[in-house]
Chain A
């Protein structure tokens, strides 16, 4: 991937108040920045929330994104991740008729497993690095997945 359009993950620490997420996302929309994925959750034992945004852009665009986010009044901190551990999760639903032991073995390779079994289908869950999640989804293709639900990236600085 070229430097001009590099994939970046940023964490935005915000006051946990109403419409704060709308402020962040509408800033991206209004200024033409892209959001590849987004996750939000409250930070335990605080009045803050942690927003993780996966985006891309040139260094100048990234600098502007960071500065514009900082400008929002309820934004406490913006972290442009450099050295990070990042994880993403995915849930995949397979027909019960597929080879369950193959699916189970595949999931194990990707640090996951089967998390639910019904009469018609099984659900597998995997949490791993984003590129490994992509590979996992490709690998499941032959087992005729009924539905794939990907979560956004979460990251923490090392």
Chain B
């Protein structure tokens, strides 16, 4: 069928089954927007900033597992999208970003709104394309979606010169993709899996270390089956919260810099780490030479480059977690679960000794109380997104996540301003869920213009602002490591968050007591309208436990057990 390049872009998006595109028009992408106006195969949501468009597509992808699609124009439209690409890249999120480019004849002339998009985005995309002819456009679009969702997922950029969107040509959307240089491995090596099974049976203190890959591979049922069949305890990373489900007795909690005592001690004392889709990030390992010092390591990952990148691995298995576990679990039928009984008992005592806890107060609102309260009131009904900082860690520590894809945050890049637009994307994808963005008074301002988007499209995201009038995480480090010199972290000068929300068509709440919080949350859920819930929390609350950067995991600063207790190290 004959059509313009712009029409081809729309046809490809429809053919891929994408229901919603997030974007922002501009000169170089106008022909595509003209076609968007004429079609009705998908909805377009106009965010108020390109960065937010990409984060929204990202949130959409994280909530559903489908490829998120964002569209921006050339030059500043594209550069604004870079943070969104990098955020998705670091967390392996499937996404296709389509950017306009100046006409082919102007490329390289420093034309108006020209920037080398493929050059800039090379290190923060899985792959990128500059389309050079109309003939290759259908193939490139097909490959972009394919690359985004297969293997280790990631964001793909397709940069399309304006004249190509105007040209008319024959459109046949390829049914299949054939990239001879790209053949991801899904099925793990049988011999390696057998060896890993033997190692598990021989170990005394095995530990399942589950990462974001278990979410991306939709393998959580298999992970739970493995843990339950073998009775091996589990630690989750920031990216895999929800895989085991809160309350599962085998789940120790989250490990790492702000992991709980039992999780970090388990990693320090285990004799066999079974890593499923985790990548030994520095925020997880602490000092590498002390990390899992007494353990052999089984490392399952779809990306061979993740294996043995930071630690030596004894049983490397390249493959998709789901498929590897399909092969591994039957080999563990005869595992003797009593074998790990003593180990589980040690860990249970560790958890009793220093549970994940905080000292609540009647005088002021503690942020951890807010998180737990949200958990009590909406629980598994909610999707929780977050920005980056103390509130993110409190949410990861205290929310009772029941399932994967319930917890959406920027783990790898740590992008402030991610939470709100990601929440919009998640709400668009899952309108039946209550979507709550747990944020801080610093982060929320980094994409607050999205109030307008959320109000216009009636995506009632609840923004719970844990307001301590500080850039709290930096303040915490300044308290601990910089002799309380609070350099540029005091945010006492603030907007009126309530009025700000109202000015943009949303609702605002000022919350200073627990009762007010309950009332506000109830009202927000009923009103079904975007809101800012400005919750005044205790100013100097710290995220604990904490492993100081570069320290060994077992050297944790622990929280107070009561108001009189000064905490211990």
Contact = CB atoms under 8 A, between A and B. Distances in A.
Interface stretch (B27-35, B161-169, B175-183, B388-396): B175-183
Interface string B142-169: 0000010000000000000000000000
Contact of A15 (B123, B181, B304): B181
A67 B123 contact: no
Contacts of A67: 304-305
A19 interface: yes
A76 B181 contact: yes
B159 to A, nearest CB: 11
B118 A70 contact: no
A64 to B, nearest CB: 6
Contacts of A37: none
A90 to B, nearest CB: 32
A119 B226 CA distance: 81
A18 to B, nearest CB: 7
A111 to B, nearest CB: 36
B122 interface: yes
Contacts of B119: 19, 22
A64 B305 contact: yes
Interface in B299-351: 303-305, 308-309
Interface of B: 118-119, 122-123, 126-127, 130, 132, 147, 179-182, 303-305, 308-309
Nearest to B310: A60
B304 A19 contact: no
A23, A73, A76: residue with the most chain B Cβ atoms closer than 10 Å: A73
Q: How large is the interface on A (under 10, 10 to 19, 20 to 34, 35 or more residues)?
A: 10 to 19
A60 B122 contact: no
A73 B304 contact: no
A64 B182 CA distance: 18
Contact of A70 (B132, B179, B305): B305
B305 A30 contact: no
A14 B181 CA distance: 8
B128 to A, nearest CB: 9
A71 interface: yes
Given A71-B305, A73-B147, A18 B180 contact: no
Contact of B122 (A22, A68, A70, A75): A22
Contact of A63 (B122, B303, B308): B308
Contact of B303 (A71, A74, A75): A71
21 contacts: A14-B181, A15-B180, A15-B181, A18-B132, A19-B118, A22-B119, A26-B122, A26-B123, A30-B123, A63-B308, A64-B305, A68-B305, A71-B303, A73-B126, A73-B127, A73-B147, A73-B179, A73-B181, A73-B182, A74-B181, A76-B181
A10 B485 CA distance: 50
Contacts of B305: 64, 67-68, 70-71
B304 A70 contact: yes
Contacts of A71: 303-305
B144 to A, nearest CB: 11
Contacts of B118: 19
B107 to A, nearest CB: 11
Nearest to A68: B305
A60 B130 contact: no
A15 B180 CA distance: 9
Nearest to A64: B309
A150 B291 CA distance: 46
Given A73-B179, A76-B180, A60 B127 contact: no
A63 to B, nearest CB: 7
Contacts of B182: 73
A70 B180 CA distance: 12
Nearest to A73: B127
B123 to A, nearest CB: 5
B431 to A, nearest CB: 35
B314 to A, nearest CB: 15
B304 A23 contact: no
A22 B130 CA distance: 13
A54 B454 CA distance: 53
Given A26-B123, A73-B182, A18 B130 contact: yes
A16 to B, nearest CB: 11
A106 B132 CA distance: 50
A15 to B, nearest CB: 6
Contacts of A64: 305, 309
A67 B127 CA distance: 16
A67 B309 CA distance: 10
B121 to A, nearest CB: 11
Contacts of A15: 180-181
A23 B127 CA distance: 10
Contacts of A63: 308
B308 A23 contact: no
A70 B127 CA distance: 13
Contacts of B308: 60, 63
B533 to A, nearest CB: 41
Among all A-B residue pairs, the 6 with the closest Cβ atoms = A67-B305, A73-B127, A76-B181, A30-B123, A67-B304, A73-B182
A73 B122 CA distance: 12
Nearest to B305: A67
Interface in A52-77: 60, 63-64, 67-68, 70-71, 73-76
Interface string A23-55: 100100010000000000000000000000000
Contacts of A19: 118-119, 130
Contacts of A75: 181
A130 B267 CA distance: 48
A59 to B, nearest CB: 10
B301 to A, nearest CB: 11
A68 B308 CA distance: 12
B182, B304, B305, B308: residue with the most chain A Cβ atoms closer than 10 Å: B305
A82 B179 CA distance: 28
Contacts of B304: 67, 70-71
Given A26-B122, A64-B305, A68-B305, 19 more contacts: A14-B181, A15-B181, A18-B132, A19-B118, A22-B122, A26-B123, A30-B123, A60-B308, A64-B309, A67-B304, A70-B304, A70-B305, A71-B303, A71-B304, A71-B305, A73-B147, A73-B179, A74-B181, A76-B181
A43 to B, nearest CB: 14
A73 B118 CA distance: 14
Nearest to A29: B123
A125 B292 CA distance: 56
Contacts of B179: 73
Contacts of A14: 181
